[in-house]
Amino acid sequence: MADLSFEEFGKVDIRVGTVVRAEPYPEARKPAIKLWLDFGPDIGEKKSSAQITAHYAPEALIGRQVLAVVNFPPRQIGRFMSEVLVLGLPDEHGDIVLIGPDADVPDGGRMH
């Protein structure tokens, strides 16, 4: 694993956003959910595709706050343009569990 300077890490913009819309994405190569997230007035609403179907149903994600990298370039996922990278960790089976605050915080807040 390569060392990363604190300055380099500081360039990664990780923000909190609230899921405002979520839909199944059956056209994806791997099972996924399309997400629309509100990152507050400075960033606005952004889209993401996440392979999180093992632990989450789209309707259960509405209102949930999650962390995402907001300064990667957009990435085409099939016919869907993913604008942010939602963050998660693999469970013991490799299925992704989302990362988010354990108390409500203002949307758009930057991770420190």
* Mean pLDDT value across residues 20-27: 95
**Please, what sign has the CA dihedral across residues 18, 21, 22, 28?**
negative
When the pLDDT of each residue in the chain is averaged and rounded to a whole number, the result is 96
pLDDT at 25: 95
DSSP state of 111: P
Residue whose C-alpha is closest to residue 62's, from 35, 28, 97: 35
| Cα distances (angstroms) measured from residue 71 to each of 2, 52, 62, 68, 91 | 21, 21, 23, 9, 26
Average pLDDT in the 16-25 region?
98
Domains, the chain, with CATH or none: 11-98 (2.40.50.140)
pTM of the model: 0.94
